[in-house]
Amino acid sequence: MTIEQEPTVDIPTLDVDPFSAEILTQPYDFHEQLREIGPVVHLPRYGVYAMGRYDDVHSSLVNWESFVSSRGAGLSDFKREKPWRAPSLLLESDPPIHTAARTVMSGVVSVRTVRQLRAGFESEADALVDSLIERGTIDAVTDLAEVFPLKVFPDAMGLPAEGRENLLPYGALAFNAFGPHNALLEAALASAAPVQEWILASCQRDALSSDGFGAQIWAAADRGEITIEQAPLLVRSLLSAGVDTTVYGIANSLFALATNPAQWTALHDNPAGAKFAFDEALRFESPVQTFFRTTPKPVNVAGSSIPEDSKVLLFLGAANRDPRKWGPTADQFDIARRGGGHVAFGMGVHQCVGQPIARMEAEVILTALARKVRRIELVSEPRAKLNNTLKGWASIPVALVPR
């Protein structure tokens, strides 16, 4: 190790593994420790720096020149290690290369294109919720949060029906791969080969229908806005980031609502509040807990100097519960809060490009539930789902009491 890589003396150290099963399932005490100990903390376990305060996480996300993405948004530094797949043109790039890709994607997943999908999503949501109410007791994850996005999103992409079971394992792999090479990543990699092959094949023009997001990306290549070689990589971004994230976001919303009955009642009384409930749920239990950046130069954060070539772990989930930003009730789920301003979608040039469709999916399914379900009650212990980046649930058994 060279001198520049030693931690700066005034940066405190935390001898903790944030990717251990304990912290992945119950991160909030650790988050508090992280925020309280200082603006920047060194984690010797991985030789990285970390931030958990809202203001510092926010400023670092916005400062793409000092905190670059082109060396990877995970623990691995692409300058030193070969990435597990070809780097994403969106997530793992910096301006100006990032800009052309981003511009195309913002056009494809725009508020306008998503508006056209809304009515179709609403009828899917109504039908699903009706059938679940009929059953009475369901699993809010496997019967609901996984089912809805896995129907509407691949349809909107223009994917064939066959092989869609590969989408969740691929997302799980991609998000585990941002973390260390631990047992979680090992397990995800073990069965990954056929999954990766299906995803790769599904990014090609002839695998996609002529009217979906996939076709629109290929059309942008035909117009010369991106190259033909870039088109399948951009399709891959939507398939990587577009499924698990929404499944976790919907499941986490349902967990928060089911365990806070007064909040469910408030939503049932005013289903139009679904979009605010979703933002508050993303703040309260952020599906994407962390992303890394890399410092191409030394950088000063609130008086702490982070050395050049450092990996920096930004705790979105900790920033979203920082009492400095959210006040003394930061740890409470309150749909009246108006949690806008959270960093669950990131911030700055890389802020989630799929946001319009993610928000619409969540709003539509939560609205259908709010209208039709008077109470949602846990019937047995929820089971956490472990992932190096995503926080959420494998199972949330609930009873749905119709209105």
Where on the chain is the footprint of ligand OVM (CB under 6 A)?
88, 90-91, 174-175, 236-237, 240-241
- Using the minimum distance from each CB to ligand OVM, give the nearer residue, 42 or 71: 71
Q: Considering beta carbons, is residue 235 or 277 the nearer one to ligand OVM? A: 235
Q: State how far the Cα of 220 lies from the Cα of 120, in Å rounded to an integer.
A: 25
- φ and ψ of 233, to 5 deg: -65, -35
Whole-number minimum distance, CB 325 to ligand OVM, in Å?
A: 24
CA torsion sign for 221, 224, 230, 234 is: negative
CB of 245 to ligand OVM, least distance (A): 7
Question: In terms of CB distance, is 243 or 256 closer to ligand OVM?
Answer: 243
- Residue 393 phi, psi dihedral angles, 5° rounding: -130, 140
12 close to 37: Cβ distance less than 8 angstroms: yes
Residue placing its CB nearer to ligand OVM in the complex, 154 or 382 = 154
The residue (of 85 and 151) whose beta carbon lies closer to ligand OVM is: 85
Q: How far is the CB of 349 from ligand OVM (least distance, A)?
A: 13
d(CA 102, CA 92): 12
Q: Does the CA dihedral 58-59-61-67 come out positive or negative?
A: negative
Closest CA to 128 of 284, 287, 250, 296: 250
* 30 or 175: CB nearest ligand OVM: 175
Residues 6+ apart with CB under 8 A from 343: 54, 57, 58, 61, 286, 316, 319, 320
**In this complex, which beta carbon is closest to ligand OVM, that of residue 332 or of residue 355?**
355
Contacts of 220 (CB under 8 A, 6+ apart): 104, 107, 108, 226, 231
Q: How far is the CB of 318 from ligand OVM (least distance, A)?
A: 19
In degrees rounded to 5, what are phi and psi of residue 299?
-140, 140
- Give the total residue count for the chain: 403
CB of 402 to ligand OVM, least distance (A): 37
Q: Which is nearer to ligand OVM, 304 or 387 (CB)?
A: 387
Residue 289 Cβ vs ligand OVM, minimum distance, rounded to whole Å: 12
Least CB distance to ligand OVM at residue 306 (A): 23
Furthest C-alpha separation in the chain: 66
| CB of residue 236 to ligand OVM, shortest distance in Å | 6
d(CA 348, CA 60): 9
